[in-house]
Homo-oligomer: A and B are copies of this chain.
Amino acid sequence: MAILNDKFEILPDEFDPTVTNEMAIDRNVHTTSLTVTEPEVNEEFTGDKEAYMASVLARYQKTLVERTKYHLGYPFNLDFDYGALGQLQQFSINNYGDPFIESNYGVHSRPFEVGVLDWFARLWEIERNDYWGYITNGGTEGNLHGILVGREIFTDGVLYASCESHYSVFKAARMYRMVCEKVNTLISGEIDCVDLRQKLLANKDKPAILNVNIGTTVKGAVDDLDFVIKTLHECGFSNDRFYIHCDGALFGLMMPFIKHAPKVTFNKPIGSVSVSGHKFVGCPMPCGVQITRMEHIKVLSNNIEYQASRDATIMGNRNGHAPLFLWYTLSKKGYKGFQKEVQDCQINAHYLKDRLREAGISAMLNEISSTVVFERPKDEEFVRRWQLACEGAIAHVVVMPNVTIEKLNNFLKDLVEHRSVWYADGSQPPCIVTSVGTHNCICPAHK
């Protein structure tokens, strides 16, 4: 890169925003930050600075293209085209407060938001007049909201969640000062209802607030909602003594399109469902959908005169662009389009799992999931290159609509080549039997 101006901090040609990776947790490192510099004296915006900023942004965009190309580990569908919405970026769109009640601030996108909410309400089988919901900043806000609704209904309720629940569930418990029982999981990652039963019986005098995972973060495991409800009933919890929040971050939007999959529906005694918008749908920034029963929301809402609306959301000020992105994709693809994409993801996930096993690599794929769990690659550089999410001895690939067979083949080739180097000295790949079970572990001891 040519030096544009010696007054500006110069970035290396290979500008890589990931080089701070080596830093230790807890060290506040600023080595790669892009310092905001003052414009030149007496000039509001000089040509030099404009050129500098344009060059920073151009290199950044190049980096994003690269990073997007190699991404496999997080459940984000990176394949979207919102060019048609580009003109709307110039507006400060804010769905202040409630989606169903106008605030005085006129630059909003509520008609799109409610259209999106209705679509999800149909998906999860709750009538227009019976639900309340909003478009959130992501799965965490959905969980924070669902668990808060549960706690406001049952102020002395105990929170139950499997130990493989998303970390935001335990964050909520801490924020809300709730007693939380962590429930064991099966090898698949599902909640262990035998352990749940014991813990419910130990707290029989307190109402129960449950987080049910519709696809866990690491293994893509789906908690058995019907069995959870049956366990509650058998332990003496009638429907008016428990609240179930379904965390459907990724899989809440995929499962309805899978034949013979268990069903998330408001026809069952659940209180709320949340799903992420930036995951299966794909969106430039994190967002999500939260749907609950209208009757529940009354415990949470305060009327706020200042905004001439009602405050039953966590965030108050809300991103008005997210509903536009979601409305656009849902309208374009429809239920049928999602069904096709879900099928493709499942086919590709099975392809990946089968190829891994053929290559002698331990791997697991839950029946209806598209999250393939396998042995953690030995080299952190490889993990980072493919942006894999890891936990202990396992890593995973989440097969999203943008993950093609070609991309998977590149990954497989790269992994097999690297493995032959990692284990050339006769050392053994890790045993992951405790994470994936004897069926799925093909380490030397379990082959």
Contacts and interface: CB of A to CB of B under 8 A. Distances in A.
Most buried by B among A21, A23, A28, A322: A28
A168 B100 CA distance: 20
B316 A106 contact: no
Contacts of A119: 36
Contact of A102 (B20, B333, B336): B20
A8 to B, nearest CB: 10
B76 A92 contact: yes
Contacts of A175: 148, 175-176
A424 to B, nearest CB: 26
A32 interface: yes
A336 B25 contact: no
Contacts of A39: 331-334, 336-337
A182 to B, nearest CB: 14
Contact of A177 (B81, B112, B176): B176
A358 interface: no
B176 A217 contact: no
Contacts of A114: 30, 32-34
Interface stretch (A136-144, A263-271, A342-350, A437-445): A136-144
A44 B337 CA distance: 7
A74 B38 contact: no
A46 to B, nearest CB: 10
Contacts of A49: 331-332
Nearest to A333: B39
A251 interface: no
A353 interface: no
A321 to B, nearest CB: 5
Interface string A105-121: 11111111111101100
A171 interface: yes
A215 B136 CA distance: 27
A21 B102 CA distance: 5
B332 A67 contact: no
A59 B31 CA distance: 46
A359 interface: no
Contact of A57 (B73, B88, B278): B88
A406 interface: no
Interface string A299-326: 0001111111011001111111110000
Interface string A1-30: 000000000000000011011010111111
Interface residues on A, range: 35 or more
B115 A34 contact: yes
Nearest to A389: B306
A17 B285 contact: no
Contacts of A168: 316
A421 interface: no
B306 A218 contact: yes
B294 A28 contact: yes
A141 B141 CA distance: 11
Contact of A334 (B38, B104, B141): B38
Interface string A61-105: 100100110110110111011111111111111101000111011
A417 to B, nearest CB: 21
Given A71-B105, A177-B177, 16 more contacts: A17-B111, A21-B102, A26-B298, A27-B100, A30-B128, A34-B111, A35-B118, A36-B334, A60-B109, A82-B90, A106-B384, A138-B316, A176-B177, A285-B322, A305-B390, A306-B389
25 contacts: A18-B106, A28-B128, A32-B114, A33-B113, A33-B114, A34-B115, A35-B118, A36-B327, A53-B84, A57-B85, A60-B112, A74-B96, A74-B104, A80-B90, A92-B285, A94-B286, A104-B387, A104-B388, A106-B384, A137-B317, A167-B306, A171-B302, A285-B319, A285-B322, A305-B392
Interface of A: 17-18, 20-21, 23, 25-30, 32-39, 44-45, 49, 53-54, 57, 60-61, 64, 67-68, 70-71, 73-74, 76-78, 80-94, 96, 100-102, 104-116, 118-119, 128-129, 131-132, 137-141, 144, 148, 167-168, 171, 175-177, 217-218, 276, 278, 282-286, 294, 298, 302-308, 310-311, 314-322, 327-328, 330-337, 383-384, 387-392
